[in-house]
C-alpha cells in the first residue's frame, strides 16, 4: 500500500513538472516568435495584425494575391507591410509609388530574396540564372551578356522580325487546317511563340507535330502550374520542410522534369557545337565558358547555362502566348472592336502583304487595342519579388535592407488616378482626342527599372505581328453551343484565361 502511495506521489510530481515544462516551452516559443516578428524600426509601413507563427498569411489568397493586395491597399495605403511567418514583406501600390521605387531608387530595390524552393533545381551556389538571381557582379555580367547576345541574334532587328513573320505564317496555316472547327487556340499560340525562342536559343524551330516539341511545351505548362498557390510560399518561408526526404521531388516534379529535359537539349546541342561558327544563344554561352576560370567566376558555367536557358524560355514565351490568348478572347467578347481592327488592317496593310513593324506607326487603333489587352488582362499582376539592397525610405516610410518587396503591378495598370475606365476593356485609354496613339506612364506590364523584362522588345514585336496577322487572315467567333467565356482568369505566376473554344473563320 505504501509503495502504491509513493508511486502515486512520484507520478503526481512528474506530471506537475511536465506541466511546468510545457508552460515554460510554450511561453519560450511564443516569446521567440514575438522577438522574430516584432518591428524594431520607427516609421515602418503599417499593415494588418500579425498572428503568432503564421504572421499575416491568412490575409492573402495565394491563388489571387493581387486581389488581396488591392483590398489591403484600400485600408493601409500605397505602402503596407505583411509577414509570411517570420519573413518581412512590403507591398507597393499605385503608379507613383512603384515608379519611385523601381526607377528613381532602382538600385535600392534591385535585389532578389532567396528562393529555397529553387535550390533543388540547381539555383544557388553562384548559379542563379538571371531572373531570380541576387543583385551583384554575376547577375550584372549575365544580364549584360544576355541582352547583347539577344540583340546579336536579331532582337529589335529586321532579321528576327522576319523569323516572327515566318512563324506567324506557320501559325495561320495550322489554324486554317482546322477548317473553321472549334479549337482551343492555346496549343497553337504556345507552339508559335515558343518556336521564336527556340530559333534564338537553339538556332532552329520545331514542327508543330514534333513529339519532342510537344513534350517541351507540356513540361513548361506543368512547371508554371507548380509555381502558384500556398505551398511554394510556405516552403520558401519554412525551408526546413524542404529537407524532408521526397518533399521537393513531389512538390515540384514538373520543374525537375523540365530542367532534366533542358539538360538533354543542351547535351544534344553540344554534340554539333563549333566555336568557329556561333549559331545561337547556346553556342555563344558555350564560347564564353571556354574562356576558363575567369569566365566561370563571372557566372559562365554549365549550371548557369541551363538556368538562363530555362529563364529565357519561361520569360520569353509564357507571357506573350498568354497575352495573345487574352487578345483573341477580348475580340470574341467585343466583336465591334475586332471589326475596327480589321478595317485598319485592310486600309494600311491589305489582305495579302504580311504586317511589318513599320506598319505600327500607321495603325494607332490596333496598337491601342494590343496595349489595352496587356493593361486589362493584367498578365503578371504582382511580378517576381524584389528585395531591398540597402536601407532606404519610400513615401516617408523606412524599409530596411533585406526586406522582400512586392510590386503590385495590378494596382498600377488599374490605377483609378490614371485610367478613365480602369475596370473595363477600353482601347481609348491609349488614344488622344485626335485618335493618335499615346502611352500613359502607368503602362508597366513589363515592370521597370533594373529588373525590367529583358525580352520586352521581342514581346512587343511578337504581339504586333502575331495579332495583326491573325486578324488579317481570320475573324474569330464563338462556337454556337459555347457559353460566353469567363473574363476573370486564373493565377499561377501569370494570369491566364480559362480554357475556351473559338472558331477561326477565314476572311
Residue 215 backbone dihedrals phi, psi, to 5 degrees: -65, -40
Question: Is residue 18 in a domain?
Answer: no
Contact 213, 42 (CB under 8 A): no
CATH value at residue 348: 1.10.630.10
Q: What is the pTM of this model?
A: 0.87
The residue written with cell numbers 493593361 in the block is 375
Distance CA 206, CA 316 (A): 16
Partners of 124 in the beta sheet?
127
Residue 324 backbone dihedrals phi, psi, to 5 degrees: -65, -35
**6 Cβ neighbours under 8 A, 6+ residues apart:** none
**79 Cβ neighbours under 8 A, 6+ residues apart:** 45, 90, 91, 92, 93, 97, 394, 395, 397
Residue 79's domain spans which residues?
42-506
Contact 445, 407 (CB under 8 A): no
Question: Is residue 123 in a domain?
Answer: yes
Question: Is residue 197 in a domain?
Answer: yes
Helices (H), 180-252: 185-201, 211-227, 230-237, 247-251
| Opening angle at CA 383, ends 234 and 458, nearest 5 | 140
Q: What dihedral angle (degrees, nearest 10) is formed by the CA atoms of 43, 44, 46, 49? A: -130
For the chain, the domain total comes to 1
pLDDT tens for the 507 residues of the chain, in order: 555 555 556 556 555 555 555 554 454 454 444 454 555 677 899 999 888 878 888 888 888 888 899 999 999 999 999 998 788 999 999 999 999 999 999 999 999 988 776 776 655 555 567 788 889 888 899 999 988 888 887 665 567 889 999 999 999 999 999 988 999 999 899 999 999 988 888 888 889 988 888 888 888 877 777 766 667 777 776 777 777 776 666 777 777 888 888 888 888 888 888 888 888 889 999 999 988 888 888 889 888 888 888 888 877 788 899 999 999 999 999 999 999 999 999 999 999 899 999 999 999 999 999 999 999 999 999 888 999 999 999 999 999 999 999 999 999 999 999 999 999 999 999 999 999 999 999 999 999 999 988 888 889 999 999 999 999 999 999 998 888 888 888 887 789 999 999 999 999
Question: Is residue 363 in a domain?
Answer: yes
Reduced to 3 states (helix: H, G, I; strand: E, B; else coil), residue 294 is helix
Amino acid at each position: 500500500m505504501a509503495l502504491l502511495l509513493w508511486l502515486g506521489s512520484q507520478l503526481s510530481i512528474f506530471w506537475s513538472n511536465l506541466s511546468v515544462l510545457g508552460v515554460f516551452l510554450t511561453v519560450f516559443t511564443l516569446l521567440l516568435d514575438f522577438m522574430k516578428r516584432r518591428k524594431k524600426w520607427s516609421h515602418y509601413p503599417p499593415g494588418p495584425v500579425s498572428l503568432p507563427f503564421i504572421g499575416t498569411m491568412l490575409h492573402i489568397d495565394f491563388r489571387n494575391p493581387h486581389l488581396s493586395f488591392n483590398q489591403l491597399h484600400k485600408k493601409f495605403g500605397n505602402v503596407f507591410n505583411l509577414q509570411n511567418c517570420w519573413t518581412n514583406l512590403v507591398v507597393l501600390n499605385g503608379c507613383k509609388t512603384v515608379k519611385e521605387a523601381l526607377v528613381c531608387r532602382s538600385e535600392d530595390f534591385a535585389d532578389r530574396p532567396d528562393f529555397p524552393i529553387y535550390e533543388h533545381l540547381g539555383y544557388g551556389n553562384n548559379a542563379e540564372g538571371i531572373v531570380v538571381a541576387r543583385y551583384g557582379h554575376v547577375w550584372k555580367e549575365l544580364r549584360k551578356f544576355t541582352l547583347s547576345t539577344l540583340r546579336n541574334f536579331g532582337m529589335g532587328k529586321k532579321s528576327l522580325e522576319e523569323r516572327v513573320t515566318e512563324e506567324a505564317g506557320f501559325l495561320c496555316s495550322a489554324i486554317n487546317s482546322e477548317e473553321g472547327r472549334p479549337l482551343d487556340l492555346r496549343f497553337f499560340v504556345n507552339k508559335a511563340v515558343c518556336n521564336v525562342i527556340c530559333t534564338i536559343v537553339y538556332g532552329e524551330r520545331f514542327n508543330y507535330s514534333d513529339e519532342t516539341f510537344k513534350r517541351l511545351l507540356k513540361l513548361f505548362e506543368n512547371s508554371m502550374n507548380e509555381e502558384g498557390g500556398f505551398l511554394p510560399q510556405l516552403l520558401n518561408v519554412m525551408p526546413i520542410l524542404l529537407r524532408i526526404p521526397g518533399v521537393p521531388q513531389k512538390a515540384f516534379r514538373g520543374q525537375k522534369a523540365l530542367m532534366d529535359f533542358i539538360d538533354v537539349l543542351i547535351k544534344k546541342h553540344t554534340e554539333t557545337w563549333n566555336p568557329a561558327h556561333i549559331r545561337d544563344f547556346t553556342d555563344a554561352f558555350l564560347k564564353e565558358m571556354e574562356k576558363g576560370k575567369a569566365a566561370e567566376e563571372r557566372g559562365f558555367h554549365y549550371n548557369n547555362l541551363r538556368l538562363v536557358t530555362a529563364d529565357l524560355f519561361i520569360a520569353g514565351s509564357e507571357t506573350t502566348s498568354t497575352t495573345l490568348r487574352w487578345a483573341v478572347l477580348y475580340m470574341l467578347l467585343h466583336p465591334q472592336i475586332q471589326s475596327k481592327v480589321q478595317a485598319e488592317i485592310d486600309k494600311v496593310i491589305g489582305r495579302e502583304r504580311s504586317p511589318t513593324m513599320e506598319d505600327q506607326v500607321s495603325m494607332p487603333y490596333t496598337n491601342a487595342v494590343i496595349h489595352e489587352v496587356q493593361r486589362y488582362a493584367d498578365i503578371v499582376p504582382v511580378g517576381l519579388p524584389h528585395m531591398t539592397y540597402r536601407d532606404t525610405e519610400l513615401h516617408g516610410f523606412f524599409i530596411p535592407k533585406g526586406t522582400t518587396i512586392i510590386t503590385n503591378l495590378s494596382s498600377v495598370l488599374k490605377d483609378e488616378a490614371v485610367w478613365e475606365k480602369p475596370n473595363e476593356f477600353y482601347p481609348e485609354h491609349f488614344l488622344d482626342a485626335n485618335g493618335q496613339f499615346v502611352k500613359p506612364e502607368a503602362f508597366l506590364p513589363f515592370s521597370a527599372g533594373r529588373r525590367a523584362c529583358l525580352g520586352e522588345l521581342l514581346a512587343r514585336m511578337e504581339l504586333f505581328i502575331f495579332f495583326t496577322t491573325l486578324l488579317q487572315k481570320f475573324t474569330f467567333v464563338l462556337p454556337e453551343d459555347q457559353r460566353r467565356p469567363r473574363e476573370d482568369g486564373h493565377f499561377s505566376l501569370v494570369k491566364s484565361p480559362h480554357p475556351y473554344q473559338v472558331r477561326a473563320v477565314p476572311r
